[in-house]
Structure formats: C-alpha cells, structure tokens
Amino acid sequence: MSGMFKETKGRRLTSREAARVLGVSEASVKRWADSGLLPMEKTAGGHRRFRPEDLAAARRAHPAAGEAPPERRRHAHGASAPLTQALEPAREAALAEEAFGALLDGRDEELSSLLVNLHLHGLSVGQIADKVLCAAMRRVGNLWHAGELSVAQEHVATRTATVALQGLRVSVQAAGAGEQMRALCCSVEDDFHGLPLRLAALTLEGSGLAVFDLGPSTPFSALAEAVQRFRPELVCVSATVLLRLDRAVYEYAGFIKTARRAGAAVVLGGAGFREEGVRRRLPADLHADSFRQMEEFVGTLPAAES
C-alpha cells in the first residue's frame, strides 16, 4: 500500500489517477479535461495533470458520474466509520515531516493538496488528523515550548493548518451526501485551541454527520441549552486545556442530564480530558484518545430516526 501514496507526491494527479478517484474511465477524464469541464494543467511534455481540489469539486458537482470508491460508501443511516488504508510507520513519519515543513513556511495550498490527496486515496479524516496534522502541530508546540520557535512562527503554523483544513473540507463534503445524524461540537470554556475543534468537526463530517460547531470556549451550561434546541444525536466536546475543572464538573452535571434525556451520545476528547481523575468526574459515552477512535465510535451508533 505504501507505493500508492508515493505516486501522488507531485501534488498533481495523472489522468489515470483522476479516473480512479472519479470512478470513470481514463478516456472520460481526458475528454472532460479537453473540453474544459474539468480544470487541468499540462506538463512541459504535454501531459494532463489534475489538482486534488478540482477532482473533489468535480465529484461533488457530479456525484452520479461514477461509482464512489468503496471506502466512501456509507451505511443507510448516514454515519459510518470510514474504512481506512493502513499507513506504514515510515510513510507516516515522512508525511508528518512534510506537513511540518509546510506549516512552518506557511505553504497552505501545498498542505491542503497533501491532505486532500490522502483523503482521496482512502485515508479517513481521523487518520489524517492523528497521523499527519496533529503530529506536525505537536512538533511545532514542542519547539515553541523549548524556545526554538517564536510565537509568530507558531501563529503562521496554526493559520496555515486552518486554511489547509478548509481545502480538506471541500473533499470531505464532496464524498458525503444525505447526512442524517446531527452533531453539536465545541470546546470547553476558556479553551481557545480552535484547531482541534475544527478537526473534531471535520472528522464527524467525514463520518457522514451534519455538524453544528458552537465554537471555542463554550460553557457546559450553554451547551446544554443548545442540546435542547438542536436535539443532536451526538455531542462532541474538545478540551486541549481545562483550566477550571471544578466549575466544569459543576456545570457538566446539568449538561449530561440534558444530553441523556435527549438521547444524545457524548464524546469528550483532547489533552484536557486525558487524566483518569478528570474522566471519572466527567463521565461520557467515549473519552477519545484520538480522532480515529471517535470515528470508530460513530460507526457503532444506532440509526437516526428520520
């Protein structure tokens, strides 16, 4: 499987690869490209090349153009744990390294292409988040903590990741249709780490859920109110830092009661919820250690009533 990812290293796909992604014949891809229906670039040697973003958009615009690859099929109820391709450790490290370089240099388009490419080739959003983006962001954080990166550099990295995720979202939305289950997500009060929250929302969208993102720093009391109003099947809360535990525990009691009554599953994830003592005080259906784990959990949820 490792060779599969190497083929797309140039960030542009060949006609054959584009055909595989779109589920149509190579001849169709060439015909669409030549007639201007599918944006393309040409190499110096005159060969057609395609940007992953354009293929994702084409797939979104013409979902019936061909059979979606098997890893994109969903269960009837609209939520599923996406099947995934295995990543070899060496390839995983190389991808994280590549993402790290792009983050530091502010190369958002390149990072976006990398993430979209991985998604088009069957990696789930959770895998991309865990293995590529989080690994690279943790490295940024460690260097910043050690005084080897400036605050400005860290901000460039965060901004680059955020912009690249918008590109990935296009691909995720292109793959999905007919969402039925709804999810609410937010981060805990006083936690302004928006990037893990974006990753959580995108992971859920990648599993076929319609997501309403309440944003960072949402108190549990406000979340409870939103649960009553929107009646989601799933609530996902991110905490990279949990600054006022006692207050959170107090408000959580009311929130979890509301969520249970509404029949919503509750997922808590992020470093702020990692300690066993914290988890005991904030009981949930899943304390996720990774985005992939949340994907797997979503795949076990019962069908939504329509």
Where do contacts with ligand B12 occur on this chain (CB under 6 A)?
129-130, 134, 137-138, 140-141, 144-145, 154, 158, 190-196, 200, 236, 238, 240-241, 267, 269-271, 288-291, 294
**Are the C-beta atoms of residues 185 and 201 closer than 8 Å to each other?**
yes
Q: Which is nearer to ligand B12, 18 or 237 (CB)?
A: 237
**Are the C-beta atoms of residues 96 and 139 closer than 8 Å to each other?**
yes
Considering the complex, what minimum distance in angstroms separates the CB of residue 22 from ligand B12? 30
Q: Which is nearer to ligand B12, 221 or 290 (CB)?
A: 290
Q: Which is nearer to ligand B12, 50 or 273 (CB)?
A: 273
Q: What one-letter code names the amino acid at 79?
A: A
Q: Which is nearer to ligand B12, 44 or 146 (CB)?
A: 146
Q: Which is nearer to ligand B12, 99 or 195 (CB)?
A: 195
Q: Which is nearer to ligand B12, 158 or 173 (CB)?
A: 158
Q: What one-letter code names the amino acid at 62?
A: H
**Are the C-beta atoms of residues 23 and 67 closer than 8 Å to each other?**
yes
For strand 265-269 and strand 286-288, is the pairing parallel, antiparallel, or unpaired? parallel
Q: How many angstroms separate the CA atoms of 92 and 136, rounded?
A: 11
Considering the complex, what minimum distance in angstroms separates the CB of residue 165 from ligand B12? 11
Considering the complex, what minimum distance in angstroms separates the CB of residue 278 from ligand B12? 12
Considering the complex, what minimum distance in angstroms separates the CB of residue 43 from ligand B12? 36
* Region for 261 from its dihedrals, namely left if φ exceeds 0, alpha if ψ lies in -120 to 50, beta otherwise: alpha
Considering the complex, what minimum distance in angstroms separates the CB of residue 263 from ligand B12? 20
Q: Which is nearer to ligand B12, 54 or 108 (CB)?
A: 108
Considering the complex, what minimum distance in angstroms separates the CB of residue 163 from ligand B12? 12
Of 225, 217, 209, the residue nearest 257 (C-alpha): 225
Dihedral pair phi/psi, residue 283, rounded to 5°: -65, 140
Give the helix/strand (H/E) hosting 268.
strand 265-269
Considering the complex, what minimum distance in angstroms separates the CB of residue 268 from ligand B12? 7
Strand partners, 50: 13
The single-letter DSSP state of residue 50 is B
Q: What one-letter code names the amino acid at 292?
A: R
